[in-house]
Chain A
Amino acid sequence: MITATDLRLTFGEGTPLENPALRGMSLTVNQGEFVTVIGSNGAGKSTFLNALAGEVLVDSGKILVDNIDVTKLPTHKRTGRVARVFQDPLAGTCEGLSIEENLALAIKRGKRRGLGTAVKKQYLERFRSSLATLGLGLENRLTDKMGLLSGGQRQAVSLLMASLTPSSILLLDEHTAALDPKTASFVLELTQNIIAEQKLTALMVTHSMKQALEVGTRTVMLHQGEVVFDIAGKDREGLEVKDLLNLFEQQRGLTIDDDSLLLS
């Protein structure tokens, strides 16, 4: 469960480039909810996810994960509760390390690391069976370097790494945007399976309004660092992209001029 209250964050405070990215963001996500997040470029979606993960610290406001205050904790102290997958397929894994070494890093997420061997024999069976669920044949390539894999394969492994150890929330920031359409739908399907199987609480940023409505249980739209609308349950059923656009106009008295948002 996530409770974010009145988050404010200004980049470059006091400089000519001052940029308020979060302006009173508040959002409560209940256990097991799968929230899709939309909003035009620069709306603050990535910044919000970064704030939840600890990559940026907010100027004011409060972030609770499972009712524990994490507002001031650095990234590595939140990872026991927060797992994430980045937009850049190369960012979530280490290309110079082997597949099994990457997974061995992930299996220790949020736990103490010691001087014992990182890639332990008892992990291998688990690595193989997890990789086998991807259907990419990676279970036979444990010692291959990550850099040998394609972007889609690496993103699939990133997703697997995010779900290898239990976490309370999963953050996905346009994690299919850099993939070709076929790979993107494969990774999206994988995402849905993992979230359903592990009953994860998830926040998925997407550029596609259509996808935002098709996937997940709730849709939130951000604009200028705030939530403009938040729909779930009955209200969300049967909704189409044009309904979302109407909703935005009603809320803001504006039309959306971000082409990229309309195109997808």
Chain B
Amino acid sequence: MLSNIAFYGALETGLIYGLVAFGIYLSFRVLDFPDLTVDGSFPLGAAVAAMLIIAGWNPWLATGAAILAGMAAGAVTALLNVKLKILNLLASILTMIALYSINLRIMGRPNVALLMEDTVLTPWYNLGLEYHQVSVLLFTFVIGVSLFLLWRFMKSEIGLAMRATGANARMARAQGIATGGMIILGVAVSNGLVGLAGALFAQSQGAADVTMGVGVIVIGLASLIGGEAVITPTSVFRALLACVVGAIIYRLAIAFALNADALGLKAQDLNLITAVLVTLAIVLPGARVSLMNKFKRRKA
């Protein structure tokens, strides 16, 4: 069985990755824009939040700045694609690589500890809750608010225009939608969410590290696909809910797998396991057809 700490820890990271899954839902699903920027915007959010907190900023303001930084990174990827006509996947790889240098510049060294600093979590410890319960409650609140806002946004005129852009760009243009602008906005918001996730992750782990973004995209995808298998995304609301549920299930499953001594798995095996799981989910029959198509036969 999982210890309490392991259980709450899985829940906590699951909630954070739920935000990443929101971002990936927005780029991959809504906009049909395979975006790998997230591997760079996740540590970017962490780095920005960490450095600003150390510089004495209010942790919520620092987290807000991390969101903006993530949005800027996403906007760069989208601009490379929309304005310079670079293939979306390649554009995102370019930004991701660039962010590695930028994140090192921001932090000035490969990792930064936040142990003695006030974070968004600090004020709640005084309420007599356990350390891990605090993060789970706070992150549940944050993801709940994000889910509600995203859901309303998707139902708005601009949100609908964004969905049309991803589903049928020619039709969207014929309806007067500036599809390029929608891609820029959508990929920016997507990476803003990932920047937020990175900022929260750094604060709950007590450190930011340049390598913490490795594989975020794959974990986010695993959450998205897993969630969709459990909750069929017949509406925007269900699709968003699936992101959260998928991320939590994924993290709990990983925690159980690592906990089961019989399997002999170690923490460093995580990326390999995830890659295998995502591959299986993509190729196995009955996997979500749309994603399958996306990776097996890329459209122009």
Contacts and interface: CB of A to CB of B under 8 A. Distances in A.
Instruction: Answer whether A and B are interacting partners.
Output: yes
A111 B156 CA distance: 14
Nearest to A105: B175
A92 B174 contact: yes
Contact of A109 (B156, B160, B175): B175
Interface in A107-144: 108-111, 113-119
Contacts of B159: 118
Contact of B167 (A94, A117, A118): A94
B238 interface: no
B153 A97 contact: no
A96 interface: yes
B193 interface: no
A220 B124 CA distance: 75
A101 interface: yes
Contacts of A114: 156-158
Nearest to A83: B174
B40 to A, nearest CB: 29
B158 A113 contact: yes
Interface in B138-166: 153, 155-161, 163-164
A73 to B, nearest CB: 11
Interface residues of B, number: 22
A95 B167 contact: yes
A123 B158 CA distance: 17
Contact of A110 (B155, B156, B160, B176): B176
B160 to A, nearest CB: 4
A152 to B, nearest CB: 17
Given A79-B174, A92-B174, A106-B175, A97 B164 contact: yes
30 contacts: A53-B174, A54-B173, A55-B170, A55-B173, A74-B173, A76-B176, A76-B177, A79-B175, A80-B176, A84-B174, A91-B170, A92-B174, A94-B163, A94-B167, A94-B171, A95-B167, A96-B163, A97-B164, A97-B167, A105-B160, A105-B175, A106-B175, A108-B175, A109-B174, A111-B176, A115-B157, A117-B156, A118-B156, A118-B159, A119-B160
Interface of A: 53-55, 74-77, 79-80, 83-84, 86, 91-97, 101, 104-106, 108-111, 113-119, 161
Given A80-B176, A94-B163, A106-B175, 13 more contacts: A55-B173, A74-B173, A79-B174, A86-B170, A94-B164, A94-B171, A96-B163, A97-B160, A109-B175, A113-B160, A114-B157, A118-B155, A118-B159
Interface of B: 153, 155-161, 163-164, 167-168, 170-179
